[in-house]
Structure 1
């Protein structure tokens, strides 16, 4: 039976505005409660404030600390060649010739094309201060792996963490999905989708994914196979990739 060519990662779409409306309502509730608190407090006797004077701290003596080396300074590392931070292809695996992008890079338009509404996504990425994206992938037997690093300028917002939130929302929405936290990442999550995609004439296609962020970089990982993907596989990829950041 024929094995299908590696599929593109599942097309994502940004979460709708309903979530924003719910959040806004919650904020209004907090504001209303705060106003009531102020009115109650206004009828009470003022409380005497503690003295503002503080003990004088003696400055530590000794030489100034040495600046971090390029190897120790994370910002120097992430501002360099982003492709060097991607996991390396395992020994024996075949390089992926199906990756989108150019020489390991994905520009804004190419990344937006992986979403259901590329035009809308392009505008959102511009607003999110998209900086650049690096991608790698490989094949091992019937299994394929793709990893993307998305970097944002983050002068106005924490876009990398927002990408992770968006990815986790849609991954959780799939039926037959098991999930686990990625150790050491805070909000990072790994998912195994136990229901395969099926098509007449082809072997079933199982998938797993992981997403996490560190600073201004969001990580996206996909694994596809013709048999169920172990939890250990996707977690191992996610942990090792995050260690490189």
Structure 2
């Protein structure tokens, strides 16, 4: 029997088109061919665990070894809390009078300023100024009433750190004298310097012997405020510490500048 011929089988064709091969950009003449950069290897998680474990176990192991070494050593004795010998004090009670004599004495200007006022000179008579009593304390209001612009002067006194003031008055040979001790707060000593400088009249003579301040006396008459009455003026000003010494004089006869200087110097010396 003759065999029937078999039809050849055609290979299956893919219905999806094949992806085109990636085009490779040709190298330019004279340039080396591009080499693909390899990707970095992925670090294993096992290595990370080893590093973390070493960081944790290192301090623990080191601390344990140090504790074991220290525990094997003998204890170091600590010094005693109380000294072997107590400090010795002199026998007997301290004499208060001796302690007071050995301590620094307070400044005269920190005491009663009224006791430091210059006494009335020989031949002088009492004079009531009509404000503060002679040889007594003086209030800022009483001080301000001596000035024409009393309200402004009062504000200036209160705002400049004024602490206290004392005054004494007398008259002699037709001239009335007024001596003031004006003390400022310790932290406002600069106000005393400013007050002294502001009281200095133009053309005045400086105080002698290195003292601060100046003195002057006018040879011409002036007129009182709100009055037609005339007078001869004069004044002297100096300072010791935070205390300003002010000497004011006025009268129907000319004031002696030398007498003002001497009064201010004598009052300044009493403050030492």
Which TM bucket (shorter chain)? 0.5 to 0.7
Q: Where does residue 212 of structure 2 map in the other structure?
A: 187
- Correspondence 1:226 to 2:252: yes
1:129-188 per-position Cα deviation (integer Å, ceiling 9, x unaligned): 1111101110123121111110111324511111111111xx22xxxxx52111245431
* Distance in 2 between residues matched to 1:126 and 1:182, nearest whole Å: 28
Give distance in 1, aligned partners of 2:174 and 2:141.
29
Q: Assess, with a 3 A threshold, how the Cα gap between structure 1 residues 120 and 205 changes in structure 2: closer, same or farther.
A: closer
Q: C-alpha displacement at 1:80, in angstroms?
A: 1.7
SS in 2 for 1:158: helix
| Closer/same/farther in 2, CA of residues 80 and 180 from structure 1, 3 Å limit | same
Tell me the equivalent position of 2:240.
214
Task: Give the 3 Å change call, closer, same or farther, for CA 144–156 of structure 1 in structure 2.
Answer: closer
**Structure-to-structure mapping, 1:23-62, within 5 angstroms:** none
Structure 1 residues 99 and 79: alpha-carbon distance in aligned structure 2, compared to 1, 3 A threshold:
farther
Structure 1 residues 6-33: Cα deviation after superposition (integer angstroms, max 9, x where no partner): xxxxxxxxxxxxxxxxxxxxxxxxxxxx
Structure 1 distance, partners of 2:138, 2:206, is 27
2:189, 2:242 within 8 Å by CA — same for their partners in 1? no
> Retained in 2: the 8 A contact 1:99–1:136?
no
The DSSP-based 3-state class of the residue aligned with 1:109 is helix
Looking at CA atoms only, which structure, 1 or 2, has the larger radius of gyration?
2
**Compared with structure 1, are the counterparts of its residues 67 and 222 closer, same or farther at alpha carbon in structure 2 (3 Å cutoff)?**
same
Q: For residues 18-75 of structure 1, what are the alpha-carbon distances to aligned partners after superposition, in whole Å with 9 as ceiling and x for unaligned?
A: xxxxxxxxxxxxxxxxxxxxxxxxxxxxxxxxxxxxxxxxxxxxxxx94344xxx4x2
Give the Cα separation in 2 of the matches to 1:92 and 1:115: 29
Give the equivalent residue in structure 2 for 1:18. none
Equivalent residue, structure 1, for 2:264: 238
Paired residue for 1:133?
165
Contact 2:184 2:192 in 1 (8 A): yes
The answer to whether the 8 A contact 2:197-2:213 is kept is no
> In the alignment, does 2:159 pair up with 1:106?
no
2:190 maps to 1:158:
yes
Distance 1:102 1:192, change over 3 A: closer
**Post-superposition shift, 1:95?**
1.0
Q: TM-score, normalised by structure 1?
A: 0.61
Count of residue correspondences: 168
Separation in 2, partners of 1:122, 1:197? 24
Q: Give, in whole Å, the separation in 2 of the partners of 1:218 and 1:99.
A: 22
Secondary structure of the residue aligned to 1:101 is coil
Tell me the distance in 2 between the aligned counterparts of 1:225 and 1:123.
29
Unaligned runs of 5+ in 1: 1-64, 173-177
Aligned-pair CA distance for 1:215: 0.7
Residues 103-151 of structure 1: CA distance to partner in whole angstroms, max 9, x if unpaired? 6211122222333333333332222111111011101231211111101
| CA distance 1:187–1:94, change in 2 (3 Å) | same
- In structure 2, list runs of 5 or more residues that go unmatched: 1-100
Structure scoring higher RCO (CA < 8 A, sep ≥ 6) equals: 1
TM-score by length of 2: 0.55
